[in-house]
């Protein structure tokens, strides 16, 4: 079967299942998620065995340790996933929420209500936890899931989908709401991105090159996730005691994720002593420092290892313990730098001066502005969403962390008594 036919077939099954799913009660969706969670627990040995096969094969093939870490499932990780699934089931129903309501002068009553997208495709890399998380979040929001995981996790994904579908057979929700694209062929990604009218939305989660491919090729609606070149700006009116933990946390707490900071901007009125202390804290945690000319002098004077930043440094998402440092002469220059090199993800300011904070907020064009706190807080769990299917890096539809609500669209329901337009 050609990949276009394969996708059409799976999307068709998902579509049929989605039609009954959109009419299902919240109780039945919750029961289905609990059934899935229970089945994952009961089948943990089989799941871990399949995952070990993937791990062994990929380790032999030379997959990097950081990717192997993403691929690996453990008892503890499965427990965490299952707990988070049950938390999703406990959240309020995202469907049927009335967002707007009113009666028009002609007597028409109109409500804007939330409804599911229908069929949502996911394209993602190694991590098999996405197979479960996405299925559960999409099920809770009334959407059928069309999953295109990576060949790296093929056995893991197969067993997880088998366990979840099997669990659904004992519920009132059709197992067909979860569809796995079981093919290593990269062309299935293209076919999915071209499945116009068959798939309502595709969300890519993974590397910058995957996101770029999706943007270039997609004929279906997509939500970009991902790239984060985030900045921390230390203003002249900063509380310097607070500033250093915020810098260190933003960079080093989990450098591989998109809300980690890549660049530190420091107001030039701030003492060199502060910068020296900040650089020392970073350097002592293994952070490689790429400095502008002025901050490099401070580093050298204080015998802190640092290099000159290159022209590429400022726009690079390192994802590792590496950070750019620059002086700026005021908040406007900080914003100018951010608008030039940032990716409109998360920008932090440390300042006690309200007008400066307001100016930073009003000129920042990004998903989240952090005032006197770490960039790491742009996160669905931290923000209280209870679940996260990804962090949108676009302005359309959803911006920043996406939970259940982001997986819904709307319908106007207009009720009349025979009104017509004059």
Contacts with its own copies by CB under 8 A lie at 19, 22-23, 102, 104, 108, 110, 115, 117-118, 196, 200-201, 215-216, 219, 221, 223, 239, 241-242, 245-246, 248-249, 253, 339, 359, 361-374, 376-378, 382-384, 394-397, 399-400, 409-421
To its own copies, the closest distance from the beta carbon of 163 in angstroms equals 30
User: β-strands 201-205, 230-234: how paired?
Assistant: unpaired
Cβ closest to its own copies, residue 18 vs residue 313: 18
- Three-class DSSP category at 161: helix
Cβ closest to its own copies, residue 180 vs residue 223: 223
Cβ closest to its own copies, residue 149 vs residue 255: 255
Taking the C-alpha atoms of residue 276 and residue 176, their distance in angstroms, rounded to an integer, is 59
Cβ closest to its own copies, residue 110 vs residue 302: 110
To its own copies, the closest distance from the beta carbon of 53 in angstroms equals 34
Taking the C-alpha atoms of residue 359 and residue 280, their distance in angstroms, rounded to an integer, is 30
To its own copies, the closest distance from the beta carbon of 416 in angstroms equals 3
Cβ closest to its own copies, residue 307 vs residue 410: 410
Taking the C-alpha atoms of residue 307 and residue 300, their distance in angstroms, rounded to an integer, is 9
Cβ closest to its own copies, residue 164 vs residue 223: 223
To its own copies, the closest distance from the beta carbon of 133 in angstroms equals 20
Cβ closest to its own copies, residue 42 vs residue 419: 419
Residue 133 makes CB contacts below 8 A (sequence gap 6+) with 81, 84, 85, 387, 389
Residue pair 223/203 in contact by the 8 Å Cβ criterion: yes
To its own copies, the closest distance from the beta carbon of 95 in angstroms equals 10
To its own copies, the closest distance from the beta carbon of 189 in angstroms equals 17
Q: Helix axis angle, 354-363 relative to 331-341, nearest 10°?
A: 20
Listed in sequence order, the DSSP H helices in 180-330 are 187-193, 208-217, 240-252, 272-284, 293-301
Residue 123 makes CB contacts below 8 A (sequence gap 6+) with 148, 189, 192, 202, 203, 204, 205, 206, 210, 214
- Three-class DSSP category at 53: helix
To its own copies, the closest distance from the beta carbon of 399 in angstroms equals 5
Four-point Cα dihedral 184, 188, 190, 194, nearest 10 = -170
To its own copies, the closest distance from the beta carbon of 182 in angstroms equals 27
To its own copies, the closest distance from the beta carbon of 140 in angstroms equals 17
* Number of Cβ atoms within 10 Å of the Cβ of 19: 11
Cβ closest to its own copies, residue 60 vs residue 311: 311
Cβ closest to its own copies, residue 17 vs residue 55: 17
Cα within 13 Å of Cα(194), Cβ side: 12
Q: Which DSSP symbol is given to 199?
A: B
């Amino acid at each position: 079967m050609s990949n276009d036919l394969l996708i059409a077939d799976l999307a068709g099954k998902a579509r049929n299942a989605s039609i009954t799913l959109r009419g299902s009660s919240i109780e039945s969706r919750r029961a289905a998620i609990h059934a899935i969670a229970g089945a994952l627990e009961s089948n943990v040995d089989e799941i871990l065995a399949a995952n070990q096969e993937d791990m062994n094969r990929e380790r032999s093939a030379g997959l990097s340790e950081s990717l192997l870490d993403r691929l690996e499932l453990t008892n503890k990780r499965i427990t965490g996933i299952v707990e988070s699934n049950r938390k999703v089931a406990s959240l309020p129903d995202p469907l049927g929420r009335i967002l707007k309501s009113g009666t028009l002068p002609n007597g028409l009553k109109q409500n804007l209500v939330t409804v599911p997208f229908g069929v949502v495709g996911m394209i993602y890399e190694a991590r098999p936890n996405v197979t479960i998380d996405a299925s559960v979040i999409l099920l809770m929001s009334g959407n059928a899931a069309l999953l295109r995981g990576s060949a790296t996790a093929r056995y893991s994904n197969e067993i997880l989908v088998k366990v979840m579908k099997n669990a659904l057979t004992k519920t009132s929700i059709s197992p067909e709401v979860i569809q796995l694209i079981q093919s290593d062929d990269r062309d299935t990604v293209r076919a999915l991105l071209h499945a116009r009218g068959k798939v309502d939305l595709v969300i890519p989660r993974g590397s910058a090159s995957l996101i770029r491919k999706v943007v270039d090729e997609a004929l279906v609606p997509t939500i970009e996730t991902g790239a984060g070149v985030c900045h921390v700006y230390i203003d002249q009116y900063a509380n310097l005691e607070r500033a250093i933990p915020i810098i260190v946390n933003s960079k080093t707490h989990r450098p591989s994720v998109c809300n980690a900071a890549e660049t530190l901007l420091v107001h030039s009125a701030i003492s060199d002593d502060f910068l020296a202390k900040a650089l020392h804290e970073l350097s002592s945690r293994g952070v490689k420092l790429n400095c502008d000319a002025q901050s490099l002098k401070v580093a050298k004077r204080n015998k802190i290892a640092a290099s000159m930043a290159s022209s590429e440094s400022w726009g690079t998402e390192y994802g590792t313990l590496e950070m750019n440092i620059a002086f700026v002469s005021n908040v406007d220059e900080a914003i100018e730098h951010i608008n030039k090199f940032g990716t409109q993800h998360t920008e932090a300011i440390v300042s006690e001066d309200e007008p400066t904070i307001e100016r930073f907020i009003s000129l920042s064009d990004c998903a989240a502005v952090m005032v006197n706190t770490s960039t790491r807080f742009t996160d669905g769990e931290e923000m209280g969403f209870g679940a996260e299917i990804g962090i949108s890096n676009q302005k359309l539809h959803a911006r920043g962390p996406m939970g259940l609500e982001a997986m819904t669209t709307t319908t106007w329901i207009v009720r009349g008594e025979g009104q017509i337009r004059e």
